[in-house]
Amino acid sequence: MNRLFFNTTIIRSFQSSGTAFFCLVRPTQARHLSIMPAAKDSPTIKVLMLHGYTQSGPLFHAKTRAMEKHLQKAFPGLSLSYPTGPVQLRPKDVPGYDPTSSDDPDSVEAYGWWRRSDTSDPPEYVRLEDGLETIAKVLETEGPFDGVIGFSQGAAMATMVASLLEGESRKKAFEQARSKSPLAIPYPMSFERLNHPPLKFGAAYCGFRAPGERYRGFYEAPHVQTPFIHFIGSLDSVVEEARTQGLVDATGGEGKTQVIMHPGGHFVPSGKQYLDTIAAFIREKMSSQTVDTDQDEKVEDMDVPF
The contacts of residue 305 (CB under 8 Å, 6+ apart) are: none
- Residue 152 bears catalytic tag: yes
- Per-residue buried b or exposed e for 202-237, using 16+ beta carbons within 10 Å of the residue's own CB: bbbbbbbbbebebbbbbbeeebbbbbbbbbbbeebe
Active-site residue, from 34, 146, 230, 236: 236
CA distances in angstroms from 82 to 35, 134, 205, listed in the order given: 8, 12, 15
- Given 16, 249, 266, 270, which residue is catalytic? 266
Catalytic residue among 79, 152, 163, 190: 152
The CA-atom distances, in angstroms, between 256 and each of 5, 85, 197, 213, 284 are 47, 30, 22, 24, 14
Residue 266 catalytic? yes
- Do residues 83 and 75 lie in contact, with contact meaning Cβ atoms separated by under 8 Å? no
- Cα 155 to Cα 46, 237, 247: the distances in Å are 17, 16, 9
* Strand ranges inside 105-200, DSSP E: 111-112, 115-117, 124-126, 147-151
* Per-residue DSSP letter, 17: T
Based on C-alpha coordinates, what's the Rg of the chain?
20
Residues in the chain: 306
Report, as residue numbers or ranges, the catalytic residues.
152, 236, 266
